[in-house]
A and B are shown apart, each in its own frame.
Chain A
């Protein structure tokens, strides 16, 4: 049962990281515009530098 002493803290730590990430994402407003986020992947990027060849 000694393995529990390692596994449980590890499980809690991993879960805690997930929770912290979730709370961070709420704080930074990533849930404010869910529909917009779905649309934004369709926006073309700014045209970058012209192709190097020629």
Chain B
């Protein structure tokens, strides 16, 4: 491990401490003189973001490659030179306004991507073989009605065998493996009849071909594989998406901390190696790596990750801090209290994991159907074989041929293909409305929802203060206010900037933790900050939320009022949900009067204030015990356990990372309507899934008797299989065409 030691006992100045994470530790050497860094980037939304990051990095001379993966929100950078450049690279990306977290590719490169590549290759091979074998089979079928002689037919059969057999052996492996594993475990799953059908059809066809027979099922066998592989791939992609984002959780924790030794020297130490009692330096803009107590320095702390409160808390000597919360404006020294698994963040992660255990019990509809479908298919095929052997004189080969036909006909294309297609179409439809579907079975769970529980801050409200009395502030002060505000990262300062535009921070600007910003401009001392600090006695600034004052040489000149506004369409959305018959509740960690105000404005009767994360989970359990299926909509880290515990969950895109990871769906923008849209799409998708399964059952009920009776030739099998697959797929695509009319 690289250990960087900075010999600067007086390193308390801001500049001396650049980061509490030493990013150079994450750089991976490539070849003799190059290094690479894998980063997770946050806030990448569009082509411009990709372009800005890649171009800015590429402008550096030493960078060989910089590529953003938009799907996974990852950035890969490769450069010539030492590992130390990693720090500058991270700073560069963060300077552009994107969050950047380096990660260790050893841990995070999931096997998921390898698996999906293997499936894609199998799909390609199966598709190639299916197309060519089908071409030959059509010639054979055409020959049935014309003068094709036996030699040509056998030749075409042999050719089909030559293409199909290796392709089946290669492409069928995902199914064969899973079927073998199931059989070894004494179970049966959907892959057992699939594998049986494919393998038996190939063997019987080979036997037929060798004997110069009329019927060969190579085309059915390989086409079946192709369809099923398409379904399997779509399914895998939906699940990989969910897994990928869960990995982000590991990255919220700091990787290393700047430790102050007894002799005053500073060195970076991995967080795992910290022990209670050590003194850790935390720079402004960094997250605290441990739980502990501030021993030196004054600052503001953004604890929204833990409390959900957007208002920063003042932090001075003796104040407790929690891992994961952010130090806002001045360097502080923290005495390490609890580390690693004992921190509050780790505690919340554990709560989440516990809650997820409960959800893991959910069994997808397709899997539930498979439980009785697979044995039924086996029984049918075996009885067909036995029936033909016993009641017919045609011999066991013919009996086997008919049994194989039953297996082919009953092959679960509807479940294997149409369910993933519904999923893909639904998630595409949601994405268009700015809703990201993150969990494969979320749609199915959404369909069962009857109760919706909202968090307040950041969910029903926008989660950020907005200046409410812009008109009352004299124009003359707009410039000064925005200049002063530009010198601070405080959320209220950001709100001032949002209202008046970003100014140029005055050269002498100084931020006084817990009070505000002060600077000398044109010989006068200006202050932007707390009411008493600016000398304003009365509460003349209207507004029910926070306030900020501007003073010149001790005389207050303007008061700024801020409020956290409810989302513009919140009232209408809640109303829609209530009309549709959902039970709506409000659970918030905030104060009673604030919760009541928001609740009354939106017409939510059932509301609880001052609720802790554990109590939120308890309330959800209570609702569950009443037999309700709850959709939890929340954003803070304090909501994360509740999000994981709920039957289904949603988060706004502005939510804390941990919450987004827990949520089944993430919605973007200032609107609340996506909640209603998602519920409607979920119901629609579920209806289509049920229809598809019903279609498949009807199709089987008609076709299976023919197969048992021995009327299913390869031609009939090909037509039946393709038409049923087309039917269910087309049905799934109806979801795409459905207008937004049913959303209202």
Contact = CB atoms under 8 A, between A and B. Distances in A.
A35 B68 CA distance: 11
A8 B69 contact: no
B135 interface: yes
B147 to A, nearest CB: 11
Interface in B150-205: 152, 155, 159, 163
A52 B199 CA distance: 67
Given A31-B120, A39-B50, A15 B71 contact: no
B128 A1 contact: no
B127 to A, nearest CB: 8
B502 to A, nearest CB: 25
B113 interface: yes
Contacts of B499: none
B210 interface: no
A44 B51 contact: yes
A34 interface: yes
Contacts of B124: 19, 22-23, 26
Contact of B72 (A16, A19, A33, A39): A33
Interface string A26-54: 10000111111001111110100000000
B165 to A, nearest CB: 15
Contacts of B71: 32-36
B118 to A, nearest CB: 9
Nearest to A31: B120
Contact of A33 (B46, B47, B69, B159): B69
A43 B70 contact: no
A6 interface: no
A15 B132 contact: yes
A43 to B, nearest CB: 4
B125 interface: yes
Contacts of B135: 11
Contacts of A1: 152
B121 interface: yes
A12 B46 contact: no
A35 B121 contact: no
B47 A43 contact: yes
Contacts of B128: 15-16, 18-19, 22
A22 B489 CA distance: 50
B50 A32 contact: no
A35 B163 contact: no
Given A26-B120, A26-B124, A33 B132 contact: no
B204 to A, nearest CB: 24
A40 B50 contact: yes
B141 to A, nearest CB: 16
A34 B70 CA distance: 8
A36 B70 contact: yes
A34 B234 CA distance: 13
Given A15-B128, A19-B124, A23-B121, A39 B70 contact: yes
B125 A43 contact: no
Contacts of A4: 152, 155
B663 to A, nearest CB: 19
Looking at A16, A39, A44, the one whose CB has the most chain B CB atoms below 10 A away is A39
8 contacts: A8-B136, A15-B131, A26-B117, A32-B113, A34-B71, A39-B47, A39-B50, A42-B46
